[in-house]
């Protein structure tokens, strides 16, 4: 069986090639799956995609016409996939339902501490041999309150680190996590969490009901000196409303590893192009904002687990097996 993998990063390629060795002919592409690139998959029964792939109805129709019968997405999120169309076309779809929660939780903390302690500004200064401390004052996390929106595996890992800092913990989710309660977390309504937290972090999936979970009203309810971190999905935050609050001088810091219009931008080199996205262009100019390119998951441990799970998904498809990773079963 020939497998075509779209959106393979340079660091990821040796891992995915090694994992698929002996399980078929693998072809890796650094281009992402879109309507323009989908015809490349013609003749490949199995296609593997990255988190920012376009798997809407148009792309799925092109894949199906070219003979693709299985899509193995190398991510947990699947808001980019038209599952109803995939089912209609008889395309099996699988994702990676679990990988190291520590990769994302630790990076969320990296963003939080970087904006709190002005690390980027300090590093830029010292490169110019400017060793002043003006404007670099941060705050202790000890004794302050962390609000965790979404307390699944990643949210729990974040809460454990916060507990190690000696922080008070507030949580919001559809169900309480006993492990978080054991850390002293108190579950409250979203509005109360936002109003009382010094640090707000997002760890919920992007669903229709969570789109712009942090909207204009939610942002206004947060403390003026709060820190906001989003390492989950860009669509959870109304970015235009966030820019408005930042222009008003609010928030100690904002750390974003995701952006709601990141498709077509993130994972690509756009350094020689004019960025047409005025919201993103404005966002990165704020001195208290740190934007990274959806790299929270990007550790050897997590990517290795993602690749291994993807191989298992492909082998399960061949054998007619169904696992918890299957979103659309084999017809």
Q: Catalytic residue positions?
A: 233, 262, 294
- 24 touches 2 (CB < 8 A): yes
140, 151, 231, 222: which is closest to 159 by C-alpha? 151
Q: Nearest-CA neighbor of 67 among 37, 26, 39?
A: 39
DSSP state of 70: E
Of 240, 109, 123, give the one whose Cα is nearest residue 162: 109
User: Residue 116: which H helix or E strand, with range?
Assistant: helix 101-116
DSSP notation for 119-176: HHHHHHHHHTT----TT------TTSEEEEE--SHHHHHHHHHHHHHT-EEEEE-SS-
Cβ-contact 231, 201 below 8 angstroms: yes
d(CA 32, CA 13): 14
174-192 in b/e burial notation, b at 16+ Cβ within 10 A?
eeebeebeebebebbeeee
Residues written for the chain? 331
How far is the C-alpha of 5 from the C-alpha of 188, rounded, in Å? 43
At residue 230, the 3 state secondary structure works out as strand
115's tokens? 């904006």
């Amino acid at each position: 069986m020939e497998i075509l993998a779209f959106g393979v990063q340079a660091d990821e390629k040796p891992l995915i090639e090694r994992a698929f060795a002996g399980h078929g002919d693998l072809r890796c592409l650094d281009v992402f799956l879109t309507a323009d690139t989908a015809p490349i998959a013609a003749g490949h029964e199995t296609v593997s995609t990255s988190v920012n792939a376009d798997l809407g109805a148009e792309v799925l129709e092109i894949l199906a016409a070219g003979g693709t019968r299985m899509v193995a997405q190398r991510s947990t999120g699947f808001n980019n996939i038209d599952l109803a169309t995939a089912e209609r076309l008889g395309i099996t779809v699988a994702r990676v339902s679990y990988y190291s929660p520590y990769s994302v939780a630790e990076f969320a903390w990296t963003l939080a501490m970087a904006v709190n302690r002005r690390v980027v500004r300090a590093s830029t200064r010292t490169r110019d041999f400017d060793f002043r401390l003006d404007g670099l004052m941060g705050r202790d996390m000890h004794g302050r309150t962390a609000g965790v929106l979404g307390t699944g595996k990643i949210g729990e890992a974040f809460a454990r680190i916060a507990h190690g800092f000696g922080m008070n913990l507030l949580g919001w989710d559809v169900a309480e996590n006993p492990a978080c309660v054991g850390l002293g977390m108190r579950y409250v309504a979203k509005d109360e969490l936002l109003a009382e937290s010094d640090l707000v972090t997002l760890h919920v999936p992007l669903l229709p009901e969570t789109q712009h979970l942090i909207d204009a009203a939610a942002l206004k309810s947060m403390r003026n000196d709060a820190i906001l971190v989003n390492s989950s999905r860009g669509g959870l935050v109304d970015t235009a409303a966030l820019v408005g609050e930042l222009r008003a001088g609010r928030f100690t810091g904002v750390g974003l590893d995701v952006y709601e219009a990141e498709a077509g931008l993130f994972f690509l080199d756009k350094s020689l192009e004019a960025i047409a996205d005025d919201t993103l262009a404005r966002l990165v100019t704020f001195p208290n904002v740190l934007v990274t390119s959806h790299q929270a998951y990007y550790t050897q441990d997590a990517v290795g687990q993602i690749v291994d799970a993807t191989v298992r998904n492909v082998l399960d498809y061949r054998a007619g097996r169904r696992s918890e990773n299957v979103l659309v079963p084999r017809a």
